[in-house]
Every structure is written in C-alpha cells, then in structure tokens.
Chain A
Amino acid sequence: MTNIASQTTFTQDRFSPESIAPLHPTPNMSSIGTTLDGEKMSANDQSPTSSIHDIDEAIPKSLEAGGLGSSNIDFEKSGLNHASTTAVGGDEEEATIEEQMQSQPPADPKIVTWNGPDDPENPKNFTWFRKWLIVVSTAVMTFWVSLASSIFSSTVNVTAREFGVSSEVMLLGVALFVVGFAFGKSRIQTLSILLL
C-alpha cells in the first residue's frame, strides 16, 4: 500500500507538486501502472506511432484509456491547476464578450438602429448650415438666460428703496438666482461628453 501511495504521488508530481493524491481514488494496481504509461504516452505526443509502440508493449487498450482518463481527472481535480483552468475560462469569457460586441448588433434584427452611416435622420449627419444654426441660436438663447442672472444687480438700490429693505437683502435677488442656477447647472457639460 505504501508502494502505491508513493507511485501515485510520483505520477502527480509530474503534473503538479501540490496535487491532492488522497482525493483521487485509485481503483487498482493496474490502473496506476497504466496511468504512468498513459502519461508517458501523452508526454510522447499522441501520434499513431506511440500508440503502436504501446500496443507492441502489449498493454490493453481499454486499461490504457482508463488510465488516461483517470489521470486527466486528477489533473483537473488538483488544486494548483484550478487556477490555470479558471484563467482559461476567463480568456474564453473575454473572447465571447468581444465576439458579442462585434456580432451583436447585426445578430439581433429586432434592434432598431440608423440605416447605415449616412442616415439623414442621424443628428451627426445634419447639414453644416443646420448644425451651426442650432449652435448659434442656442448660444444666443443662453446669452439672454445668463444675462438675466446679473441684470438684477443693477436694480438692487432702487428696489431696496421701493420695498423698504436694505440693499443687502435685495442682493438676495441675485444670490437666489445663482442658487437656482446651481440647482440646475452642473458639471453635466463635462459629464455628458463622457457619458454619451
């Protein structure tokens, strides 16, 4: 029995030093022997010549296959190789994500997109004139809105006299407007560039 154990550890040492021998149930002596042979075979490459060579050595095919299978199982079960298998899995995931990114839009015909890159409905394809008309007109509109923020400051003294309060109180008219601005105005200008 000690002999078997030493043999088992030896076989698995070839794959991974920290593999778990006790987890792998060894059915019988012969299977261990074939495990060794099987590993030899896998190391020798799985070309027909090696199998012929194995047959020449008169090792039953079925046992050899069983040995190979069991060796594969404990290869997968061993803790050290678990990391490598997950790494492979990760690579596969990345590959599938890339595939999805490349093939997803045309793959799903139910998703509505633009009709090609020159779709006139796409805002990016507006004419030059239309784009700059939008930009200039919205800039003018913004000018009047931002002008309103400070236009009140010139009226502070007059209105303070009219309502009978100090001009400091009347400055709230400017301050509150800016507070309102702050509620709505945001770093969304910066964000929207990055978000969209």
Chain B
Amino acid sequence: MSQFLLITEFIGPLLWGPLSEVYGRTRPLFFGVALFCVFQIPLGVANSLTTVLISRFFAGLFGAAPLAILGGLYVDILSPMDMGIAISLFSGSVFIGPAAGPILGSFITQSYLGWRWTAWITLIFSTPATLFCYLVTPETFEPVLLQWKAAKLRHETKDWALHAKSEEQKVDMHSLLTKYLTKPMRMIVKEPIVRIYQMSS
C-alpha cells in the first residue's frame, strides 16, 4: 500500500498541476472541492464496504485540489513578505486538520449521532466554507486573466489581433505532457531545494 502511495505521489503533479496551469486557479480548485463535498454524501448513506471505500478514495482525490493549487494562488496575490505568513497559516490548517480529525471523529462516533455523521459534519462545514471561498476568491492566475482581458478587448475594439502573451503558446496534449510532466522531474534533478523538500516530505 505504501508503495502504491509512493507511485501515485510520483505521478501526482499530472492531475491538478497542469489543470491549474491551463484553466487558472479557481476553476480546478472549486471543481475539486465541490466534488469533495459531493463525495461525502455516498459516504454518509453507504450500505456497503465498496461504497465507503470508493467514496473515500474520490473524496481524497478531489480534496487534494486545494493542497495543490492554493500555494500558487497565494503567490499570485501576495508579496514574498506576506507569503510566509500565508503559507504558515495554510500549512497550519493542513496539519491541524488531520490531528483534529480523530478527536472530532471519535466524539461524533461515540455520541448518539453515529459514524455516518462524520461525513455529514464534514459536508455541513466544508460546503459553506467552500461557498464562501467561491464568493470571495476571483481568478488570480495572471496568464488566464490576461487572456480574458484580451478576449474582452477583442470584442470591444474589433481588433482581432489583440492577444495575451500566454496565448502565443499552443496548449495541446503534447505540450502539456512534455512541459508539465517532465518539469517536476527536471526540477527534482536540478534544484537542490526541491530535493530537500522532497526528502523532508
């Protein structure tokens, strides 16, 4: 199981990384978190082991979106000085969550609510949090924003040559694979800080 986990972590950047590079930050982020919330429902009503395991797996898969994307989102909006505070806040929530989970979970399970309410409680609290985030968080990824701006300007000015710098690059499956699949590997080999981060995590 741990080997399987290592393998999946190895190919992990494939999923959310390229998505956020092409579609910006907010769309993959809220797509992922929304589906995370949705997959709490089959867990809450599960009647078989298979349902529980599958819904848990997909909840984890889609729940990983904020972990992968929020770091980039903070880079988009914050100065390097503020980044430190934001990242510590973010990592705090990432690490306090799993620590608080069993405490809250056993509290719910041993109360009259029962184990199914661990899923419902998660759904009840994460859905408003997600909705609030959705309302306050605009797209922040600069290339995507400039593409939108260019598209708007094209229709306003009827000057169809206007474009964002990032639109000059053709995005297809090939470039996605060559650029984003090999980049993590290249960086692990070339950048010492990435290697150290990898060893620590």
On A, residues with C-beta under 8 Å from B are 110-114, 121-124, 126, 130-131, 133-155, 158-159, 162-163, 165, 169-170, 172-196
Q: CA separation between A184 and B64, bound complex, in Å?
A: 5
B12 neighbours in A (Cβ, 8 Å): 182-187
Q: CA separation between A141 and B187, bound complex, in Å?
A: 30
Cβ-defined partner of A187 (8 Å) among B13, B90, B97, B100? B13
A112-B150, A112-B164, A172-B53 are contacts. A142–B66 as well, Cβ < 8 Å? yes
Find the A residue at minimum CB distance from B140.
Answer: A123
On B, residues with C-beta under 8 Å from A are 1, 4-5, 8-9, 11-13, 15-17, 20-21, 32-33, 36, 40, 48-49, 52-53, 56-79, 82, 86, 89-90, 92-106, 108-109, 114-115, 118, 121-122, 125-126, 129-130, 132-133, 136-138, 140, 142, 145-146, 149-150, 153, 159, 161-165, 183-184, 187, 191, 193-194, 197-198, 201
Q: CA separation between A159 and B46, bound complex, in Å?
A: 10
B16 neighbours in A (Cβ, 8 Å): 184-186, 188
| Contact in complex: B57, A143 (CB < 8 Å) | no
A138-B133, A141-B33 are contacts. A185–B64 as well, Cβ < 8 Å? yes
**What is the interface of chain A mostly: helix, strand, loop, or mixed?**
helix
Residue picked from A150, A152, A194, most chain B C-beta under 10 Å? A152
| Contact in complex: B13, A151 (CB < 8 Å) | no
26 interchain pairs (CB within 8 A)?
Answer: A110-B161, A111-B162, A123-B76, A134-B137, A137-B136, A139-B92, A142-B67, A142-B93, A151-B104, A153-B102, A154-B102, A154-B105, A155-B115, A163-B48, A163-B49, A163-B52, A177-B60, A177-B63, A179-B4, A179-B60, A180-B59, A182-B8, A183-B61, A183-B64, A184-B60, A188-B20
Cβ-defined partner of A153 (8 Å) among B73, B75, B101? B101
| Contact in complex: B86, A135 (CB < 8 Å) | yes
Find the B residue at minimum CB distance from A164.
Answer: B49
Min distance, Cβ A128 to any Cβ of chain B, angstroms: 9
| Contact in complex: A184, B68 (CB < 8 Å) | yes
Cβ-defined partner of A144 (8 Å) among B57, B67, B126? B126
